[in-house]
Amino acid sequence: MISVNFSQKIANIMLWASALITIAILFIMVGHILLNGVEVIDLQFLLESPKNAGREGGILPMIVSSLYTTGLALIVAIPLGIGSAIYLTEYAVKSPLTKAIRYATETLSGIPSIVVGLFGYTFFVIYLGLGFCVLSAGLTLSIMALPIIMRTAEESVRTVPIGYREGSLALGASKWQTIRKVLLPSASPGIVTGIVLGMGRAIGETAAIMFVVGGGWRMPISPLSPAQPLTVHLYELFSAGIISTEIGYGTATVLLAMVLAITFTANWTMRRYIKKIMGE
Amino acid sequence: MAFLVNSNKHAEWVIEKCLFLSAISAIFFIVLIIVFIFEKGLPMIIDYGLLNFILGTNWFPLDGQFGIFPMILGTLYVTAGAMVLGVPLGLACAIFLAETAPEKMKNSMEPVIESLAGIPSIVYGFFGIVVIVPFMRDAFGAGFSILTCSIILAIMVLPTIISISQDAISSVPKEYKEASIALGATHWQTIKKIILPNAMPGIATGVLLGVGRAIGETMAVLMVSGNVVKIPSSIFDPVRPLTANIALEMNYAYGIHREALFATGVILLVVTFALIMVVDYFQRGN
Amino acid sequence: MNKIETRNLSIWYGDGRVLTDVNMKIKEKCITAIIGPSGCGKTTFIKAINRMIDLTHIARIEGEILCDGENIYDDGIDVVELRKKIGMVFQKPNPFPMSIYENVAYGPRVHGIKDRRSLNEIVEKSLREAFLWDEVKDRLNEPALGSSGGQQQRLCIARALSMKPEVILFDEPCSALDPISTSKIEDLIVELKKNYTVIIVTHNMQQAARISDYTAFFLTRGELIEYGSTSRIFERPLDKRTEDYITGRFG
Ligand SMILES: Nc1ncnc2c1ncn2[C@@H]1O[C@H](COP(=O)(O)OP(=O)(O)O)[C@@H](O)[C@H]1O
Ligand SMILES: [Mg+2]
């Protein structure tokens, strides 16, 4: 029989190993891409359009497309997400409707992005007649970002101590004043986190917008121009035979850098904010 | 003054209605998605016959044959493979983080998991195609395969499984653990016999959400699955999962072919709803 | 002069009754203490006085509460104006997560005062009135949550004073504080009665005896057992239950 202490030792080793494997996976992946990517990236890569069927040149229109579509998505998703969070925590009483809202949010975040893509195509592009463009993509992406922002915002508004609400209302502040001046500022670290997570989701999304953006290498100017965000560009580089692995590394690096930068800036601001408010 | 008060009341009323509208936006979008996907896909399923559609083994759109059975199998195999690889690793990480990890280790794992969750799926696909596919080709003679797909998906579902299982494990009451240790059980025995059984509903939720993520994943599988429509006979065979099929053919499909792709979307939606219902069931049992 | 008067005030939470036919006249510029075992409805009673109870959706109210002769539950009453007139300080200090200055300026700001000079004046005056000015005048822009518990509670009092209220409700304001902070706040409350009508809930009998002019004793389901001048209640209680309670023989 294996002794009890021996199995405890084995277990410990296995648990440590699994954590280290997980860390290693991330470092190998990110490290590999970044190391190969930085060799490709220079000012020209960041500031030029693709050339020679995508084998050379830069990815500026793609960077702009990514930011443009993500920006539009956030413009729609942020007010809806925060509004919903406030409604659910401050106005709604528990009812079948609030249950349905939660269920819908959960479901929305579980729908495969390719299905959202099909929807974006039939609804925004065809039915509403917006065509293949930045706006259609932004609206489609807002559906992806919405449930994340909603859920995170609701959680953080809910954890604001009840005393803040009472304190404000007892001073004769209206409900909306209380929300705007006390609840939202107190909940803002959580809300910002939610927005950032939603932003990360939107900027990294491919399947939801591949039938919606239109593509091409032109710089998108108006919301009705077609666009090719970084993610779609990266796919295009590999969808019809491998066009250029170098450009692929460069594009993936820029994309990764954006996503990781977003994540870490958010964490950093949040910590600073908490420190400022809480007084050490 | 009285006027001021009144206009404020009006403003408050308008604000409340606006907030209400944002709150129901999720329901609004879900309904829109269902209506528009079903409207395009359901007639095709009815015309073609549900069984012919999901059990048919021939996908020849130009000849009007739309059997998605090979693709259903493709999705099932890569998902199952991802779970076989991802669940043990993820669960072990969750136990480690919730039970035995020193504070420092915990703090450094957090951003790792966040980053894994935040990396776009196209980047996973890219990494798959430039690193894992060549590696698998050298090692097993088959680059684009179920196994390659499963490896990538296993990494992608790790954050979901880890964070939800970790929550479930941490929320097992301390008293249970103390009682077990006080009886002379080792920490590992306590984890095995007390903590894991009690955390099971939460862990199951994490695994199911992971399954959902794997089934719905498109870009990564699209890039490494090989995309061959055929019933696979080994884990080294290429496959074409359902999502990849939509992504590959949508751009040139028209007519009934396009409807068949929407019909595939209908199937994916139904699977998503079913999974969420099961997750709900587990959470209620909690 | 009576500032507040309740007439057959009864309150239910759902089906559970928490106040039973309370009739009480509360004198202007006096300190009235509310005592009674926990759960007897003290908090409910004072929350009814500035209609903070409106926030509890399941609460149902019968009877009247008059403030300066006007029923505060009448349809025409503006709750905002009412709460400006009747301020409240809570059991647990609840400063907002903002600077000390912003905490005190919050009330005036939400009621439309924007001018920096007026705000400065109000902040300084309120903090002085709350015996806090000297301790915080050099760090007005630091987070309020960095202060000690006693300072936080006095800040909450200053915040209430910034509205120039006529009545201030205190719900066990010292229960979360140390003895030194407690006596500071007691001194402060006694000082406040020169200009304000004070109603204070306390579970501390000595506190009621020390600072209040009138005392009301509630028992389960919010029955007002006895009400009168504090000296009389503590020296010659008429009801056996009051005597048991104040001598600690209760329950
Ligand atoms: N929001 C509420 N919903 C239901 N019951 C409540 C609520 N608040 C208080 N109660 C109940 O009403 C009774 C009186 O409460 P409270 O006024 O807080 O008493 P006290 O302040 O004297 O301790 C208690 O039995 C309490 O449980
Ligand atoms: Mg109380």
d(CA C173, CA C33): 12
Assess contact for B240 and B229: CB atoms under 8 A.
yes
Q: Is residue C105 part of a domain?
A: yes
Q: Which pLDDT value is given to residue B6?
A: 44
Residue C251 inside a domain? The answer is no
Q: Is the pLDDT of residue A33 over 70?
A: yes
Q: Please return the burial class of A271, using the count of CB atoms within 10 Å of its CB with bins 0-12, 13-18 and 19+.
A: exposed
- Site of tokens 């106005």: A91
CB count in 10 Å sphere of residue C14: 8
Which tops the pLDDT comparison, C134 or A243? C134
- Which residue type, as a one-letter code, is found at position B107? N
At C45, which CATH number? 3.40.50.300
CA A161 to mean position of chain CA atoms: 28
Per-residue pLDDT, B9:
74
Residue C13, classed as helix, strand or coil, is: strand
Per-residue pLDDT reduced to its tens digit, C203-243 = 888 899 999 999 999 998 999 999 999 999 999 999 999 99
Can you read off the two tokens belonging to residue B96? Answer: 């480690």
pLDDT tier for residue B110 given thresholds of 50, 70 and 90: confident
Distance C176 CA to ligand 2 centre (A): 12
Query: Which residues lie below 8 Å from residue B41, measured CB to CB, with a gap of 6+?
Result: B259, B261, B262, B263, B264, B265, B266
Q: Is A57 helix (H, G, I), strand (E, B) or coil?
A: strand
> Residue C10 above 50 pLDDT?
yes
Angle of helix B256-285 relative to helix A96-110, nearest 10 degrees, comes to 120
Identify the three-state secondary structure at position C70.
strand
**Residue pair A273/A61 in contact by the 8 Å Cβ criterion:** no
pLDDT digits (tens, 9 = 90+) for B15-59: 999 999 999 999 999 999 999 999 999 999 999 999 999 999 999
Which of C12, C22, C44 is the pocket-test mutation for ligand 1 (most atoms within 8 Å of CB)?
C44
pLDDT band at C43 (very low <50, low <70, confident <90, very high): very high
ipTM score of complex = 0.92
φ and ψ at residue C227, rounded to 5 degrees: -150, 130
Give the pairing of strands C167-171 and C86-89: parallel
Please give all residues whose beta carbon lies within 6 A of any atom in ligand 1, as ranges: C 13, 18, 38-44, 56, 58
Q: What is the pLDDT of residue B2?
A: 32
Give tens-digit pLDDT for B189-227. Answer: 888 888 898 899 899 999 999 999 999 999 999 999 998
Q: Is residue C210 part of a domain?
A: yes
Point out the least confidently predicted range of A240-254, B258-272, C22-36, C51-65: A240-254
Which residues of chain C does A276 touch, with a Cβ-Cβ cutoff of 8 Å? 143
Report if residue C47 sits inside a domain: yes
Residue B8 has pLDDT above 80, yes or no: no
At A1 the pLDDT is 53
Q: In angstroms, how far is CA B269 from the centroid of its own chain? A: 12
Q: Chain-wide mean pLDDT for chain C?
A: 93
DSSP bridge partners of C65:
C6
Dist. CA B202 → ligand 2 center (Å): 37
> Of A207, A106, A150, nearest to B216 (Cα)?
A207
Residue B107 to residue C142: CA distance in whole angstroms: 29
Least confident window among A214-218, A230-234, B22-26, C223-227 = A214-218
Q: Report the separation in Å between the CA atom of B184 and the middle of ligand 2, taken as the mean of its atom positions.
A: 45
Q: What are the two backbone dihedrals, phi and then psi, of residue A127, each rounded to the nearest 5 degrees?
A: -65, -50
Write out the two tokens for A120. Answer: 């974006």
State the Cα–Cα distance between residues A207 and A224, nearest whole angstrom.
20
Give the per-residue pLDDT at A280.
Answer: 44
- Cα separation, C105 vs B22, in Å, equals 32
B125, A266 Cβ separation under 8 angstroms: no
Answer yes or no: is C60 within a domain. yes
pLDDT at A137: 97
* Contact across the interface for A279 and C156, Cβ inside 8 Å: no
| Cα torsion through C220, C226, C230, C234, rounded to 10 | -80
- Give, using CA atoms, the residue closest to atom 10 of ligand 1: C13
Mutant choice from B24, B28, B126 vs A, greatest count of A C-beta within 10 A: B126
Residue C91 resides in a domain: yes
Number of domains composing chain C: 1
Q: Which amino acid is at C53?
A: I
Ligand 1: nearest atom to the Cα of C38: 23
For residue C119, give how far its alpha carbon lies from the nearest alpha carbon of chain B (Å): 21
List CB contacts (< 8 A) between A171 and chain C: 83-84, 87, 106-107, 110, 159-160, 162-163
Which contiguous run of DSSP H or E holds residue C135?
Answer: helix C133-136
Q: Is the pLDDT of residue C15 over 80?
A: yes
- The model's pLDDT over C145-169, given as tens digits with 9 standing for 90+, comes to 889 999 999 999 999 999 999 999 9
- Residue C114 falls inside a structural domain: yes
- Name the closest residue on chain C to residue A161, using Cα atoms: C94
Closest C-alpha to C202, from C87, C91, C61: C91
SS3 letters across chain B: CHHHHHHHHHHHHHHHHHHHHHHCHHHHHHHHHHHHHHHHHHHHHHHHCHHHHHHCCCEEHHHCEECCHHHHHHHHHHHHHHHHHHHHHHHHHHHHHHHHCCHHHHHHHHHHHHHHHHCCHHHHHHHHHHHHHHHHHHHHCCCCCHHHHHHHHHHHHHHHHHHHHHHHHHCCCHHHHHHHHHCCCCHHHHHHHHHHHHHHHHHHHHHHHHHHHHHHCCHHHHHHCECCCCCCCCCCCCECCHHHHHHHHCCCCCCHHHHHHHHHHHHHHHHHHHHHHHHHHHHHHC
Give the strand pairing for C197-201 and C59-67.
Answer: unpaired
pLDDT digits (tens, 9 = 90+) for B126-178: 999 999 999 999 999 889 999 999 999 999 999 999 999 999 999 988 888 87
Residue A173: closest C-alpha in chain C: C110
What pTM was computed for the model?
0.86
Supply the range of the domain harboring residue C37. 2-246
A95 touches C at CB < 8 Å: no
Query: Cα dist. C30→B33, B162, C3, C128, C191 in Å?
Result: 65, 61, 10, 21, 11
CB contact, 8 Å: B14 with chain A?
no
Of A171, A277, A279, the CB nearest to C83: A171
Question: Would you state the structure tokens that stand for residue C10, as one six-digit string?
Answer: 């009864």
